[in-house]
Chains A and B, each alone.
Chain A
Amino acid sequence: MTATLEPRAAEPAHVLTPAELAAVRADFPLLTRTVRGGRPLVYLDSGATSQKPDVVLDAEQDFYLQRNAAVHRGAHQLAEEATEAFEQARQEVADLVGADVGEIVWQTNATAGLNLVAYAMSNASLGRGGAASRRFAIAPGDEVVVTEAEHHANLVPWQELCARTGATLRWIGVDDDGRLRTDELATTVTERTKVLAFTHASNVTGAVTDVAAFVARAHEVGALTVLDACQSVPHLPVDLHELGVDFAAFSGHKMLGPTGVGALYGRRELLEAMPPVTTGGSMVEVVTMETTTYAPPPQRFEAGTQMVAQAVAMGAAARYLRDLGMDAVAAHEREIAGLLLDAVAAVPGVRVLGPTENRDRLAAVSFVVEGVHAHDVGQVLDDAGVAVRVGHHCAQPLHRRFGVAATARASAAVYTTPEEVAAFGAALASVRPFFGLGDGA
């Protein structure tokens, strides 16, 4: 049984009714299990990885049961069906994010996609790719601009690119509310800036970026834009053409799909001009003993046998989200975000890292409990069946910005219920008393 909602084109965003939410949850078999001695699971770690609906699990299994074959080769029916499933999945993902099918490159995850862009720029800087790729070349005196809110996946590859090429890394700061300092764009992004890499939504603060402001400034100076869309694609309507970014990366496993697969979006003319990074089989045109010409994108960036079953299942996840309607998903999660913020605010001695106003933010709330380390907070919540993430969430500089080493994070997805948030709130209220601290801060 798959939850589908009434189509609601042009209707105002619709919050899931309790019956619709129950139907959604029924699609996720794992959500019915218990943990820690029979307690119902309250899964609030979807920011790290989401749970998977039946249609995704079935798609992966069905591929292996019925259609498994090598794609883009072979003269037999199975190969045709496998190729069709693989390319149909690419279309589903493209449709979810407002891209053309040829602009979606399969990657193992978003990290791989971001590294692909950084390494392609390296190769272009070495002269690979000829005249067409010169726009990706980078040299001493050039600058790469990131933000202080980035996940390490959208920071370290750029540090490394700068180290390899002699370019300089700069960054946009974060304000006390956890929002990016859009006002710094005018001074930090300059004619020297070759790349502006930034997150669509922080996996720590939940703050959603004003992408238009970043893209506008990048266009003024002719910089490439690279968007980390890991946290936005599963939770918000995303139209990459409308956003106008040059590249975007997102992972399957955070958007109800399987692990081992993700996507890099690149504007078609850029992918066509960009030199390959991983080379080998399946990405070539003509190979001689001396030299090789390369296939057009996206195949140019898909060397070797791909994660076909996982890609097919990621396509099923994209279809599932589109059937629910991303407006409905976002509206539901906005309600959950408000409940999470209320739940955290109701507990004395708890401080949120990120916007406390439920505007332009995701249902991902990171917090510190005064006097209790995040790891210990997570342990007490876990004892109540509540699964949250603890640590720095792969964003050490952002935590340093707020003067903390670690936080606990509650993050939701379309299947999160108000009752789960209430259970989280009750468990959170027990943390300080458990460690012998007063109710007050």
Chain B
Amino acid sequence: MSSPMEQLYQQLILDHAKSPHGRGLADGHAAESFQVNPTCGDEVRLRVHLAGDAVERVSWEGQGCSISQASVSVMSELVSGEPVATAEELGETFRRLMHARGEGLDEESEDRLGDATAFTGVARYPARIKCALLGWSALRDALIQAGHAGTPAAPPTEEDA
């Protein structure tokens, strides 16, 4: 049985933090969002690249803790090539995971989140939830800017505000 801290810092998170996916801003994007966590100074600048109704890819730059940077990296892998609607649903599912107090979600939701379930343990540490959500907030903001009003699945939470 691993400790809560080992569950927080899953190997997958440490690997993504070390070798992030999608890092490096690319041109040809539909919209860009800059998000900062004012309490700790973590920041991410994210561009969403669209192909029709699908997220072709996201490109980003950022600085911050391993949780925030790994979360953008995992998200970037997860949403690339997915329809915009699917990307938005994944975002909502990930937000639910962050409010599950470390208990995780139903099997179907976790299957859809794939590697992003590695962040389950983050939800045990309220101060770190914002870190994990930083990139997802940037994606949602960029998609709205790109003209996708978003599926009004869940009301905005304090962390998203």
- Residues of A in contact with B (beta carbons under 8 Å apart): 36-37, 372-376, 379-380, 383, 390-392, 396, 399, 405-406, 434-436
Which residues of A have CB within 8 Å of B3? Answer: 383
How many B residues are at the interface, by size bracket?
20 to 34
Q: Is B42 an interface residue (CB 8 A)?
A: yes
CA distance A86 to B18 in the complex (A): 56
Determine the distance from Cα of A293 to Cα of B42 in the docked complex, in whole angstroms: 50
Query: Is the beta-carbon distance between A435 and B128 smaller than 8 angstroms?
Result: no
With beta carbons under 8 angstroms apart, the residue of A36, A383, A406, A434 that contacts B40 is A406
Is B81's CB within 8 Å of the partner chain A?
no
Closest to A396 in B: B41
The interface stretch among B50-58, B60-68, B94-102, B139-147 is: B60-68
Give the CA-CA distance A375 to B64 in the complex, in Å.
Answer: 8
B40 surroundings in chain A (CB, below 8 A): 374-375, 390-392, 406
By the criterion CB–CB under 8 Å, are B65 and A373 in contact? yes
Q: Mark B73-97, 1 if CB is under 8 A from A, else 0.
A: 0000000000000000000000000
* B41 lies within 8 A of A392 (CB): yes
Closest A residue to B3 by beta carbon equals A383
| Given contact pairs A396-B41, A406-B40, A375 touches B9 in the complex (Cβ within 8 A) | no
The 9 closest A-B pairs by CB, nearest first: A375-B65, A373-B65, A405-B41, A383-B5, A391-B40, A406-B41, A376-B65, A376-B66, A392-B41
Residues of B close to A392: CB separation below 8 A: 40-41
Residues of B within 8 A of A376 (CB): 9, 65-67
Residue of B nearest to A391 (CB): B40
Q: Which residues of A contact B68 (CB under 8 A)?
A: 375
Interface residues of B (CB under 8 A from A): 3-5, 8-9, 14, 18, 39-43, 63-68, 125, 128, 131
Smallest CB–CB gap between B121 and chain A, Å?
A: 11
A37, A372, A379, A391: the one contacting B41 at CB < 8 Å is A391
Q: Chain B residue with minimal CB distance to A437?
A: B18
The 17 listed contacts between A and B (C-beta, < 8 Å) are A372-B66, A374-B65, A375-B42, A375-B65, A375-B67, A376-B65, A379-B9, A380-B5, A383-B3, A383-B5, A390-B40, A391-B41, A392-B40, A399-B41, A406-B40, A434-B9, A436-B14
- A405-B14 CB under 8 A given contacts A379-B5, A390-B40, A391-B39: no
Which B residues touch A380, using CB under 8 A? 5
- Most chain-A Cβ atoms within 10 A of its Cβ — which of B3, B43, B64, B128? B64
Distance from B5 Cβ to chain A, minimum over Cβ atoms (Å): 4
Which of B41, B63, B64, B67 counts the most chain A CB atoms within 10 A?
B41
Residues on A with C-beta less than 8 A from B8 are 379
Give bound CA distance, A17 to B113, whole Å: 57
Note all chain B residues with C-beta closer than 8 A to A434.
9
Cβ B66 vs Cβ A373 within 8 A: yes
Please measure, in the bound complex, the distance between the C-alpha atom of A396 and the C-alpha atom of B43, giving whole angstroms: 14
In this complex, what residue of A is CB-closest to B39? A391
B66–chain A nearest beta-carbon distance, Å: 5
- Which of A36, A37, A435 is B14 in contact with, Cβ under 8 Å? A435
Pair B63/A405 contact, Cβ less than 8 Å: yes
Q: CB-nearest residue of chain A relative to B69?
A: A373
Q: Which residues in B have their C-beta under 8 angstroms from that of A436?
A: 14, 18
Q: Which single residue of chain B is at the shortest CB-CB distance from A434? A: B9
Residues of B with C-beta under 8 A to A391: 39-41
B19 to chain A, nearest CB (A): 12
